[in-house]
Chain A
């Protein structure tokens, strides 16, 4: 390992020598609202020298002394250029103008800038801007980030009403979801019908399906990096909307004489207000809300601070019988500091929390579970020269997990007080990564992440006979809890178990010509937190658990290869990628496992492995009156869970079986068409192979009931899922030159009323005694209307 690090250092030092070179640095912003732009290209015309802005809009590039034409381009924005005499280190801040308002002015982006995106070694990444997400038809008009990314190749979920998303055959908990760098543990409102991200407060969303940059760690499948807007730094602005499910209001304005800005966004559902008026439902409450906050202050040219926050909650009360609420809360204080023209840094202090509460009044029980973390991280971007950029940094995350606390709600409750063992852990990471142009055509991104996970004491751990928490009972052919051998208490300053992992990340891109390239990547990553869920859909009450004595970290290796092409002057782009991924130590649950209210999770699980492979195709039309994409994925996702230490063959007799996220075929077409100044139309069509499920293969009579016997795990499939949605946006002409701008969005979800099966259940009819299969389909044809405004 040491040798590799030494080698990297040597390589860099030889590249550091450059003569008569100066740097240009600055930020790129939107001229309308002052939002910094992430991923804009800054390019010196006539050279191959260029840079891409980071998440804070910052860029830096180095070139020999000369006069240059600096070209700034960003998809959906007007390209600008500026003459610069480079004879000293220079700071220039650019502002560029969005195109969407006046479509006639579309400028075909220049050929030179094109080469850079094709050239970048980063692959397996999808980026969506808030404006693109807004165009996609949404159920009940609720614009939704999580639903939008499912239209991209390689991303699926378990259908309507299921939380989270699955990337390249991975599980929901294998996605690192970040909102302004804070970990979001549950992305859903209403048990998965809507997502926690209020699109009005969001600038852009980046999804890494593989080739995960070394600065991210802790999950093995993907990173969903969501950035909130900074707030309008030019003028006070209000945006909002009134929909069938929720209403939104966002206020943003400059602060401190243009040295800063803020944004406050709120969203709330109001079904519960209507329910109050209905006698049968007056005691019920079904609502969610969220609040986004962001503010920043520019101390001087080299220092800027940001504060962002999120708070969201879901509340369900059913006739005073069940009271249930859950939600995420997060905050992030950041300090951007530019050390010099080449060295950019960001220090973040982040807090996030997810908690879940359920009160069952009829058995007088109050249940609370939560996960909290404090995260300190320091990231650096070092723009060494026009061929090399370095990213490096360190982070530490302290986790406190409360897997459950049960309280009686009254003195005569039959429930005894119970608090499950509180768990603590510290996860740290160190990384260095280089983006390095090796030759004119070959660019590499190579890096290494070192991660360490320390499961801290302050709790009891159960010991088992023969160190076997699960034992195979060969007589009965079932897995059972191991025999307990007492408990051992670990002091707070003691470590229960530590894990270390080196995670190399490698990406290569080879440019075939000015408009096409091939890329390859390898990513190793590790995951120390696991979401315990033995159901086929993730639910809000699923509990996170850290790795430790009995649960090992998940380790994944992913290999990907891709071909990329832009054509018709970048109006179209095409991506073809193939991947192969393995995950070690993926846990699965023994038959009939019970995860609720237990300290000894280890007695319910077996360590297994997973693998996934597939082919993804994406054809995108980026400019013009018609924009949109076609995505197709052919894939396989399987797992195998051997008996191992517990004995026996394992789950499904030790054979490979489909994971619940296996989808053989998955395609979607998404399109938006600007009909005229008043009307925008959009539509999407999706098709997916049905979800793997376990069906009965027989029945027998026991205790007077017909009991189903079941086949092997996930051996059957639900019927295929498909759906067509439309929406139309109407901008009244009187909007022109008015401060108040309104628009109406009309939508139809599931236009041909396909009864997609969310599940099929097998039950015995109480009236006839017959066994029958019932299909639960969530959404029929759903029309919607939303009014949005800007002021």
Chain B
């Protein structure tokens, strides 16, 4: 909702002779922080035994060349109900792997990362998700009636508040589109989410054409992770434009128990996931 209204305002701005150009800006520089990308994603129809956690550090905003992977940390996940411990193995490239993780829906897990003799901890519940029922493509839907759009559908359970995360990716693109969705206005209904691309000379984007391959991944997520993603995605998309809420530090759920102020960026999530691939006709 907010996003749509914001885009309306931006459209109006651009209609009225606005001009956008890339400039050099001096930005402040903060001390690096640990970044924990701990995403336990359990793909429907798999055992979910293979999991990877990524560790890195933050860098100055315009920096492009720094090697910021984190090695030598110890990474462990515990099932809070069974006390089963899962040790992740350092691959020496910033990733930590495990091949015998046992996911259980609605169970609570605790992540523990020890790095530079500081202990980081996070807790999350493994959230279930409905399956993607179908994918459709059309011309008429979405914003522009002359270009192809694609929509996925799934059912929202009635009796609870549900939160979703969608990762949409077109083969050949540099980046995925991320979207967070709640059932606030649509509880218990058939949910849908559409994607459409517009041609943009500046960044080489093209509209969808027959033969284009795309994938959708739908995640069931917790309310707190939804709140986290909402800020993260809004700030990523808007980059601080005047119609989005004032940009702020995004704090995840990884707490530094040794030095609380030295908290980590990133998030420990645990989600059931459904993925569907689609080729435009």
Contacts and interface: CB of A to CB of B under 8 A. Distances in A.
A776 B243 contact: no
Interface stretch (B27-35, B85-93, B110-118): B27-35
B27 A695 contact: yes
Contact of A755 (B19, B232, B245): B19
Interface in B102-148: 141-145
B265 A322 contact: no
A601 to B, nearest CB: 14
A707 B240 contact: no
A705 B248 contact: no
Interface string B182-201: 00111101111010000010
A725 B117 CA distance: 62
A256 interface: no
Interface string A293-321: 00000000000000000000000101101
A660 B32 CA distance: 28
B46 interface: no
B240 A694 contact: yes
Contacts of A764: 175, 236
A536 interface: yes
A774 B23 contact: yes
Interface stretch (A95-103, A145-153, A592-600, A729-737): A592-600
B128 to A, nearest CB: 21
A534 interface: yes
A611 B240 CA distance: 25
Contacts of B160: none
Contacts of A451: none
Contacts of A696: 27, 61, 240, 247
A710 interface: yes
Contacts, number: 261
Contacts of B248: 591-592, 694, 710, 713
Contacts of B240: 693-696, 759-762
A161 B16 contact: yes
Contacts of B265: 700, 702, 707, 709
B25 A773 contact: yes
Interface in A684-731: 693-705, 707-711, 713-716
B24 interface: yes
Nearest to B123: A475
Interface stretch (B3-11, B76-84, B270-278): B3-11
Contacts of A107: none
Interface string B202-235: 1111000000000000000000100100111011
B242 A535 contact: yes
Interface in B253-269: 253, 255, 260, 263, 265-267
Contact of B30 (A363, A541, A697, A778): A697
A476 B257 CA distance: 11
Contacts of A321: 143
Contacts of B27: 695-697, 716, 762, 773
B4 A772 contact: no
A777 interface: yes
B140 to A, nearest CB: 10
Given A711-B28, A776-B18, A703 B167 contact: yes
Interface string A551-587: 0000000000000000000000000000000000000
A338 to B, nearest CB: 49
Nearest to A475: B255
Contacts of B60: 698-699
Given A191-B12, A698-B29, A761-B239, A416 B174 contact: no
Contacts of B251: 476-478, 591
A416 B247 contact: no
B5 A775 contact: no
B89 to A, nearest CB: 21
Contact of A597 (B24, B56, B185, B227): B185
Nearest to A590: B248
A753 B201 CA distance: 25
Given A319-B143, A716-B28, A774 B236 contact: no
B258 to A, nearest CB: 14
Interface string B15-50: 111111111110111101101010000000000000
A358 B5 contact: yes
B174 A592 contact: no
B176 interface: yes
A759 B186 contact: no
B256 to A, nearest CB: 10
A693 B64 CA distance: 24
Contacts of B74: none
Nearest to B174: A769
A178 interface: no
Given A709-B250, A755-B19, A778-B13, A591 B231 contact: yes
B95 interface: no
Given A536-B242, A702-B232, A703-B178, A777 B186 contact: no
B175 to A, nearest CB: 6
B13 A414 contact: no
Given A766-B204, A773-B23, A782 B17 contact: yes
Given A693-B240, A704-B176, A776-B20, A534 B245 contact: yes
Given A476-B255, A776-B18, 17 more contacts: A324-B8, A365-B1, A367-B1, A414-B191, A592-B227, A597-B184, A698-B58, A704-B176, A707-B265, A714-B246, A715-B28, A758-B18, A761-B240, A762-B240, A775-B22, A776-B241, A778-B16
Nearest 3 interchain pairs by C-beta: A592-B231, A761-B239, A591-B248
8 contacts: A416-B186, A476-B255, A535-B245, A596-B5, A708-B61, A761-B238, A763-B236, A777-B19
